[in-house]
């Protein structure tokens, strides 16, 4: 394969391929399909750091018995509007899929619902789950805690994860408006992809192991991420850690094992909130008002250097539509890694 040559792959073919790889590794087919679909969706919206580059990482943890091949979900606590699920160290996507279903069902019944997940693993992009809630005609909110790779504002010891949070809102004529953000200056997954591809990173993303600013992705992975907007990102990361970890009885803060490098289950937490809009106001009236709100942003005059003004999620929605139509571009390093992982499981599919 020529160096630096990218390859275009149909999203459906890539999803089936990844499903087969997970299944060959001992993951039940229905669970493998859920995981693969969420990972490919991340590539579709341009968030390659949470996409199929994670397949090899997930299976490395499976091989080390750090995640269970089958997700055995149990209900720890439940009321009319809340639930807490124990993933029992199963797949984060599988636990999240069930949690979202429960949140939507409960919100339809009582107006709003909060569902927590404990003892889980990486669950992909937060937007993938809030978008599902928004597509059900509700407002969705989700967050998850993660490995301590970021120092709190004013400190130098990593005791916080990137702890992403997402909010999705349905619209009348288009895809949901979706905010999905890490609380760090940049998601660690993007640094991981940069390291795999031999690329540098911008200053301001991370410090090296000695506490110095760095543009070397590999040095950054040995160091510490920086919070976005100083105390604001730090404070938001702490609150997400409380809601996803402390509240749910999951791992949290400095005590959570890292996904890369630590030989212990992470047992992290997620939370999902569904708000049935019709419990507050007629859905049709809300969607009409949302259309006005969208126009107020998109029709505003772009500042110098910008072609247009976007709503949260616009760029990702455009990328998704384009990638579904034209196929996904994978770098040679990620494609080679995928194919090598597949061969190690007895799968000889070439993809391209």
Cα(48)–Cα(316) distance, integer angstroms: 12
Provide long-range contacts, Cβ within 8 A and 24+ apart, for 160-163.
Answer: 160/227, 160/234, 160/237, 160/238, 160/241, 160/253, 161/237, 161/241, 161/256, 161/268, 162/187, 162/188, 162/225, 162/237, 163/236, 163/237, 163/240, 163/241, 163/244
Q: Which of 7, 50, 122, 270 is catalytic?
A: 122
What DSSP line would sit under 122-153, residue for residue?
--S-HHHHHHHHHHTTEEEEEEE---S-BPPT
Active site residue 270: no
Nearest to 277 by CA among 173, 179, 171, 174: 171
Cα(34)–Cα(53) distance, integer angstroms: 16
Residues labelled as active-site residues: 122
């Amino acid at each position: 394969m020529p160096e630096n040559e990218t390859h275009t792959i149909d999203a459906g073919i890539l999803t089936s391929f990844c499903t087969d790889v997970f299944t060959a590794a001992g993951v039940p087919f229905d669970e493998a399909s859920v995981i693969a679909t969420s990972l490919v969706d991340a590539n579709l919206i341009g968030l390659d750091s949470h996409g199929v580059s994670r397949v090899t990482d997930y299976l490395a943890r499976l091989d080390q018995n750090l995640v269970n091949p089958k997700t055995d979900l149990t209900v720890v606590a439940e009321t009319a509007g809340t639930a807490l699920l124990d993933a029992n160290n199963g797949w984060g996507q599988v636990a999240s899929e069930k949690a979202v279903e429960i949140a939507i069902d409960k919100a339809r019944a009582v107006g709003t619902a909060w569902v927590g997940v404990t003892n889980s693993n990486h669950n992909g992009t937060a937007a993938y789950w809030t978008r599902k809630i928004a597509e059900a005609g509700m407002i969705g909110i989700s967050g998850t805690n993660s490995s301590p790779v970021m120092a709190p504002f004013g400190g130098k010891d990593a005791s916080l994860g990137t702890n992403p949070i997402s909010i999705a809102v349905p619209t009348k004529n288009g895809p949901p408006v979706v905010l999905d953000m890490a609380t760090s200056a940049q998601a660690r997954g993007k640094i991981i992809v940069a390291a795999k591809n031999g690329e540098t990173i911008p200053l301001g993303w991370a410090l090296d192991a000695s506490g110095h600013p760095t543009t070397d992705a590999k040095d950054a992975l040995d160091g510490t991420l920086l919070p976005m907007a100083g105390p604001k990102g730090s404070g938001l990361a702490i609150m997400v850690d409380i809601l996803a970890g402390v509240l749910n009885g999951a791992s949290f803060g400095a005590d959570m094992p890292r996904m890369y490098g630590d030989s212990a289950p992470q047992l992290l937490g997620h939370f999902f909130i569904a708000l049935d809009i019709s419990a507050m106001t007629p859905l049709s009236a809300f969607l009409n008002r949302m259309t006005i709100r969208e126009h107020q942003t998109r029709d505003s005059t772009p500042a110098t250097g910008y072609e247009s003004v976007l709503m949260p999620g616009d760029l990702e929605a455009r990328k998704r539509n384009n990638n579904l139509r034209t196929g996904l571009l994978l770098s040679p390093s990620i494609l080679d890694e995928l194919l090598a992982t597949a061969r190690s499981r007895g799968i000889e599919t070439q993809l391209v």
